[in-house]
Amino acid sequence: QVTLVESGGGLVQAGGSLRLSCVASGRNFNSYGMGWFRQAPGKGREFVASISWRGDTDAYADAVAGRFTIARDNAKNTVYLQMNSLKPEDTAVYYCARGRTAQATSAWGQYDYWGQGTQVTVSS
Protein backbone atom coordinates (compact mmCIF):
# COMPACT_ATOMS: atom_id res chain seq x y z
CA GLN A 1 0.00 0.00 0.00
CA VAL A 2 1.25 3.46 -0.91
CA THR A 3 0.19 6.66 0.81
CA LEU A 4 1.19 10.20 -0.10
CA VAL A 5 0.91 13.06 2.36
CA GLU A 6 1.31 16.65 1.22
CA SER A 7 2.15 19.60 3.43
CA GLY A 8 3.34 23.18 3.15
CA GLY A 9 0.27 24.86 1.73
CA GLY A 10 -1.14 28.08 3.11
CA LEU A 11 -2.03 31.68 2.46
CA VAL A 12 0.56 33.93 0.82
CA GLN A 13 0.56 37.31 -0.87
CA ALA A 14 1.17 37.64 -4.60
CA GLY A 15 4.88 37.58 -5.32
CA GLY A 16 5.59 35.37 -2.33
CA SER A 17 6.90 31.80 -2.11
CA LEU A 18 5.88 28.47 -0.68
CA ARG A 19 7.47 25.04 -0.65
CA LEU A 20 5.24 22.01 -0.77
CA SER A 21 6.41 18.61 0.42
CA CYS A 22 5.01 15.17 -0.26
CA VAL A 23 6.14 12.19 1.81
CA ALA A 24 5.50 8.75 0.40
CA SER A 25 5.12 5.55 2.35
CA GLY A 26 5.63 2.12 0.84
CA ARG A 27 8.49 0.51 -0.97
CA ASN A 28 10.50 1.47 -4.01
CA PHE A 29 9.78 5.19 -3.96
CA ASN A 30 12.91 5.74 -6.03
CA SER A 31 11.62 3.51 -8.82
CA TYR A 32 8.82 5.83 -9.90
CA GLY A 33 8.33 9.21 -11.42
CA MET A 34 6.42 11.71 -9.30
CA GLY A 35 4.17 14.60 -10.21
CA TRP A 36 2.32 17.59 -8.87
CA PHE A 37 -1.15 18.56 -10.08
CA ARG A 38 -3.59 21.24 -8.98
CA GLN A 39 -7.29 21.90 -9.04
CA ALA A 40 -8.84 25.33 -8.71
CA PRO A 41 -12.50 25.83 -7.73
CA GLY A 42 -14.79 25.00 -10.63
CA LYS A 43 -11.95 23.71 -12.78
CA GLY A 44 -10.50 20.34 -13.67
CA ARG A 45 -7.28 18.90 -12.30
CA GLU A 46 -4.28 20.18 -14.24
CA PHE A 47 -0.66 19.17 -14.50
CA VAL A 48 1.91 21.34 -12.74
CA ALA A 49 5.27 19.51 -12.74
CA SER A 50 6.81 16.05 -12.86
CA ILE A 51 10.17 14.46 -12.14
CA SER A 52 11.75 11.17 -13.14
CA TRP A 53 12.84 8.49 -10.68
CA ARG A 54 16.44 9.72 -10.55
CA GLY A 55 15.51 13.38 -10.64
CA ASP A 56 17.44 13.95 -13.86
CA THR A 57 14.41 14.76 -15.99
CA ASP A 58 11.60 17.15 -15.17
CA ALA A 59 8.72 18.85 -16.92
CA TYR A 60 6.53 21.86 -16.19
CA ALA A 61 3.27 23.34 -17.29
CA ASP A 62 3.72 26.54 -19.29
CA ALA A 63 1.85 28.49 -16.62
CA VAL A 64 4.47 27.72 -13.95
CA ALA A 65 7.70 27.25 -15.93
CA GLY A 66 10.43 29.51 -14.62
CA ARG A 67 8.62 30.08 -11.29
CA PHE A 68 8.19 26.56 -9.87
CA THR A 69 10.84 23.90 -9.32
CA ILE A 70 10.25 20.23 -8.61
CA ALA A 71 12.84 18.17 -6.75
CA ARG A 72 13.05 14.88 -4.90
CA ASP A 73 15.07 13.28 -2.13
CA ASN A 74 14.88 9.53 -2.54
CA ALA A 75 16.60 8.93 0.80
CA LYS A 76 13.66 10.68 2.48
CA ASN A 77 10.91 9.37 0.17
CA THR A 78 9.98 12.99 -0.43
CA VAL A 79 9.18 15.15 -3.42
CA TYR A 80 9.09 18.94 -3.23
CA LEU A 81 7.56 21.78 -5.18
CA GLN A 82 9.23 25.15 -4.70
CA MET A 83 6.84 27.87 -5.80
CA ASN A 84 8.17 31.39 -6.32
CA SER A 85 6.60 34.58 -7.67
CA LEU A 86 3.16 33.26 -6.82
CA LYS A 87 0.13 34.73 -8.54
CA PRO A 88 -3.56 34.74 -7.53
CA GLU A 89 -4.24 32.33 -10.41
CA ASP A 90 -2.00 29.77 -8.68
CA THR A 91 -4.69 29.41 -6.01
CA ALA A 92 -5.75 25.76 -5.94
CA VAL A 93 -5.56 22.49 -4.08
CA TYR A 94 -2.21 20.91 -4.93
CA TYR A 95 -1.87 17.15 -5.17
CA CYS A 96 1.18 14.96 -5.46
CA ALA A 97 0.98 11.67 -7.30
CA ARG A 98 3.11 8.62 -7.98
CA GLY A 99 3.66 7.66 -11.58
CA ARG A 100 3.08 4.22 -13.07
CA THR A 101 6.56 4.32 -14.59
CA ALA A 102 10.00 5.72 -13.78
CA GLN A 103 9.62 8.65 -16.19
CA ALA A 104 8.35 12.18 -15.80
CA THR A 105 4.98 12.64 -17.48
CA SER A 106 2.23 15.25 -17.62
CA ALA A 107 -0.59 12.74 -18.25
CA TRP A 108 -2.72 12.34 -15.12
CA GLY A 109 -3.81 8.88 -16.30
CA GLN A 110 -0.19 7.76 -15.87
CA TYR A 111 -0.40 8.21 -12.09
CA ASP A 112 -1.81 5.55 -9.82
CA TYR A 113 -1.55 6.92 -6.28
CA TRP A 114 -2.65 10.38 -5.13
CA GLY A 115 -2.34 12.39 -1.96
CA GLN A 116 -5.23 14.15 -0.26
CA GLY A 117 -4.09 17.60 -1.36
CA THR A 118 -2.94 20.80 0.30
CA GLN A 119 -4.58 24.19 -0.17
CA VAL A 120 -2.57 27.07 -1.62
CA THR A 121 -4.20 30.49 -1.59
CA VAL A 122 -2.51 33.51 -3.13
CA SER A 123 -3.99 36.90 -2.30
CA SER A 124 -3.66 39.92 -4.57
**Residue 22: Cβ within 10 Å count:** 25
Inform me whether the pLDDT recorded for 95 exceeds 90: yes
> What pLDDT score does 112 carry?
94
**pLDDT tens-digit map of 36-74:** 999 999 999 999 999 999 999 999 999 999 999 999 999
pLDDT band with cut points at 50, 70 and 90 for residue 18: very high
pLDDT at 27 (0 to 100): 80
CA dihedral angle for residue 110, residue 83, residue 120, residue 14, rounded to 10 degrees: -140
pLDDT band at 81 (very low <50, low <70, confident <90, very high): very high
